[in-house]
Structure 1
Amino acid sequence: MKEQKVTIVVPVYNVEKYLKRCVDSLLGQSYQNIEILLVDDGSKDSSLSICKKYELQDSRIRVFHKENEGLGLTRNYGIERATGEYITFVDSDDYLTLDAIAVMLERAIATDVDVVIASHYYKNEEQRVTVSERIYSGNEIKETLMVHMMGNKGNKLDALSYTACWKLYKKELFIKNNLVFPSERKLIWEDLAFSVEAYPLCEKVYILHKPVYYYCFNEESLTHTYKPNKLELVMELYHYMGVKIQDLNLPGEAQYRLDTNFIGHIRTCIKLEVFYTDKNGFGTAIQNIRKICSRKDVQRLIRSYPKTSFNKSQYVYNFAMEHMLVYMVYFLTWLQNKKKRIE
């Protein structure tokens, strides 16, 4: 039987500090029949030159350089140039376990699934997958996997990660269906939007209870996370996902989980306003928080969400948002930011 080739698509953008760690983990894979596509998305640091040096060292590496378009479209660029039977995605500030490709590919071939979903490490702690390890097929993909991808169920931490990383895809899933990633400049979390396009196309998916990926929080990325219009982008995606849930006829629990997920994202937008008070000014922070809390769709989301799903601190926070107690929202957020970094 012909040995299957796996294409590893790595979008690269201003990651000179982390790139060596990432590429070394790919070259060190126990499974050797791989190609590594390093797609430089218009980096302004030395990332491209680092990529070119690696290309000279190993024939399995191919380097591409293009104008900056963002993560989603850069992945599409790599998919178009992939020659492997399977594709996986690695962000260039993260890295793989040395047996990642081997264990995912073994499951993919043994079960003939369209996608293998593994688990990952975050801050060196395994992020366990709560759904059972097995093959999911037919309606189970929508009714179990996609429902869990919408977010946690209230305070129960049982979401299934929708990110494109730590997963192995059959390339034909992309080719047969003209499947592509949207631009995060249009839909802010392109992986979530991608998930509702990709998984309904799958006949079988395998959940693998083995961590294969080190997801690394890049503190320097904080300088890029603040956008004055971030809440607008977040709520645009929220409404888009609500329509998709209806179109796909997902169970009602999917919308419930999506609401949990996006209440958290709204609070993160407020955290960023407070975090950047020194730069933007206290008055601007208060003004922007007031705008966030007063939006009709934000108010509708908070008011419709079951109060029993909040713990005490969440209840107080959402009460303050619902009743437009803006200075209280600011103070509570300031306390949270002191205790925990924005991640």
Structure 2
Amino acid sequence: MKEEINYSIIIPHKNIPDLLQRCLNSIPRREDIQIIVVDDNSDSNIVDFEHFPGMSEPCVEVVFTKEGKGAGYARNVGLSKAKGIWLLFADADDFYNDCLLEAIDTYKYSEFDLIFFNADSVYSNNQSQHISHPHADGLNFFISKYTSAPVFCMDSLRFYFGPPWCKMIKAKLIKNNSIYFDEVSVHNDTMFSLKIGFLSKKQYVSKYSIYTTTLRKDSITFQKDTKKRLLIKTYVSISYDNYMRKIIKKRSFRLANRLFSYIRNKEYFSFIFVMEYLRRKKCSILLYTIVCFPMITLYRILRFVFGKIGISSHRQDIRR
């Protein structure tokens, strides 16, 4: 009898085959682990499709798409192929740490719907140098302070930590609630993470550091905003805010936070462009600014102060 699939790991990919191979090499092969790679219409001048990473391995399922709709679409394709009880996500330019199996097997039979793990961060081309990463630092900060302020830290992880990596998610949570990634070029994971955070009934934070996220100059995460990217970010922020207000009954500060980020990006910021879009969506900019700016300021001060004290020592405690 074929062994049950306990874990499905979904990896979207585009034009970085060497880094994808590094990611695949970091995942132990086991019959109960399904690895799904979804290629987002890579360039044949960059990728050798006849020797595509993972193609010859029975535990790796490679799906080629021609639509070129981005990582959100690729992840949704991966979800449609997933057979595991638990779902994990990785970016093709990142990789897993040696404790992966020990960590996920610890919670294999648990009743949790959503489990958060710690992350390390390095430069992609210099893995020996640990660096600050906005997502990883925030994740580790809230996990490190969880015992002192469990409700605040768990809510922060559930509602404000957007990346899908470093989460182990019950597949039935996603399937029963028809949760998908937005098929947009940026922030495709924002609403996905918010919905699984809200709809999960039992959550847990683990001290295992299972994942290493990398920084590289070509990453989409660090590209400057164009008007199109700015518009998509604003649209996602509005969707996020509406979900928070109507369903969770909490006021989000994400939209105001995004606007202040735009102001700092002088080269591409178009104040009239954003304001006109928000006006059409009937959003009260003044209300968000008055209510949310103090929250943003306090949040950043606390995160900076406690993060400087705790994150560096915490990383050494949790790495295995």
Give the Å deviation of 1:108: 4.4
Query: Cα distance 1:65–1:107, how it changes in 2: closer, same or farther (>3 A)?
Result: same
1:212-223 aligned within 5 A: 212-221=210-219
**Which AA in structure 2 matches 1:42?**
N
**Which AA in structure 2 matches 1:197?**
K
What is residue 24 of structure 1 aligned with on the other side? 25
Gap regions ≥5 residues in structure 2: 123-129, 302-320
What is residue 262 of structure 1 aligned with on the other side? 258
What is residue 98 of structure 2 aligned with on the other side? 98
1:44-59 aligned within 5 A: 44-45=43-44, 46-47=46-47, 49=49, 52-56=52-56, 58-59=57-58
SS of the residue corresponding to residue 231 of structure 2 reads helix
- Residue by residue over 1:185-218, the C-alpha shift from the partner in whole angstroms, topping out at 9 and shown as x without a partner, is 4xx4122211232222212111112221111112
Query: Cα distance 1:228–1:24, how it changes in 2: closer, same or farther (>3 A)?
Result: same
Structure number, greater radius of gyration:
1
1:279-290 aligned within 5 A: 288-290=269-271
Q: What is the root-mean-square deviation in Å for CA atoms of aligned residues?
A: 3.4
Query: Cα distance 1:102–1:289, how it changes in 2: closer, same or farther (>3 A)?
Result: same
What is residue 168 of structure 1 aligned with on the other side? 168
1:176-187 aligned within 5 A: 176-185=176-185
**Which AA in structure 1 matches 2:22?**
R
- Residue by residue over 1:212-239, the C-alpha shift from the partner in whole angstroms, topping out at 9 and shown as x without a partner, is 1111112013695442233222222222
* Count of aligned residue pairs for this structure pair: 273
- Residue by residue over 1:267-310, the C-alpha shift from the partner in whole angstroms, topping out at 9 and shown as x without a partner, is 46x25x2xxxxxxxxxxx6xx54536866769634455446965
Query: Cα distance 1:133–1:34, how it changes in 2: closer, same or farther (>3 A)?
Result: farther
Query: Cα distance 1:211–1:47, how it changes in 2: closer, same or farther (>3 A)?
Result: farther
Query: Cα distance 1:234–1:309, how it changes in 2: closer, same or farther (>3 A)?
Result: closer
**Which AA in structure 1 matches 2:231?**
E
**Which AA in structure 2 matches 1:184?**
V
SS of the residue corresponding to residue 220 of structure 1 reads coil
Instruction: Please state which structure has a larger fraction of its residues in helix.
Output: 1
1:95-244 aligned within 5 A: 95-109=95-109, 111-123=110-122, 124-125=130-131, 127=137, 128-131=140-143, 145-151=154-160, 161-185=161-185, 188-221=186-219, 225-244=224-243
**Which AA in structure 2 matches 1:198?**
I
Q: Which shows bigger deviation, 174-183 or 225-234?
A: 225-234
Between the aligned partners of 1:174 and 1:241, the Cα distance in structure 2 is 18
Gap regions ≥5 residues in structure 1: 152-160, 274-284, 315-343
Identity %, equivalent residues: 16
Assess if the C-alpha contact under 8 Å between 2:117 and 2:167 holds in 1.
yes
- Residue by residue over 1:78-109, the C-alpha shift from the partner in whole angstroms, topping out at 9 and shown as x without a partner, is 11111222111111011110222430331242
SS of the residue corresponding to residue 37 of structure 2 reads strand
Between the aligned partners of 1:259 and 1:192, the Cα distance in structure 2 is 12
Between the aligned partners of 2:223 and 2:295, the Cα distance in structure 1 is 35
